[in-house]
Amino acid sequence: MDQQANVNERNGSAGATTHGLAWDVGSFANDALTLTELQTQLVAADMREYGRRVWFPSLLLLAGMALGLAFFPIALVTMALALVHFLAMSYLLAFLVVSVIAAMGSAVLCIFGYRMVRERAAVLSRSRNELLHNLRWIKRVLTRTRFT
């Protein structure tokens, strides 16, 4: 058996490489978990801030919808009957005029409240940007370690 190669226990691989790979994978996993934890904390903080900022515009939006659902029917009928009584309009025309005015008023309130809610939601862009930054970092680390 003189011509057989002498094979060590590791089948030709060095022990330091295995330890280095395990260390790199463990270090990367630790960094990725740390980023995940920080990202979660950032989202939680952003959601708390969003909750503090959005309560008033949400209240406006709900008030606009409640006003449209509860108060308007009685007020609209009263206004239409007033138009019929004081301006001698037909019932159809009076109810049509009042309906258009009510729809426009309700739409203005809802649009105003919705826009304010959307403006306050911009605080969540911080979490989104940080998540994208972290994902780019993970991709860069994985690409770099794959080719080196």
Which two three-digit tokens encode residue 105? 């008023």
Please tell me the distance from the alpha carbon of residue 22 to that of residue 53, in angstroms, as a whole number. Answer: 46
Question: Whats the size of the chain, residue-wise?
Answer: 148
Q: What is the pLDDT of residues 38-83, one digit of tens each?
A: 888 888 888 888 888 888 998 999 988 888 788 778 888 999 999 9
Is pTM beyond 0.85 here?
no
Query: pLDDT class for 95, splitting at 50, 70, 90?
Result: very high
Please tell me the distance from the alpha carbon of residue 132 to that of residue 138, in angstroms, as a whole number. Answer: 10
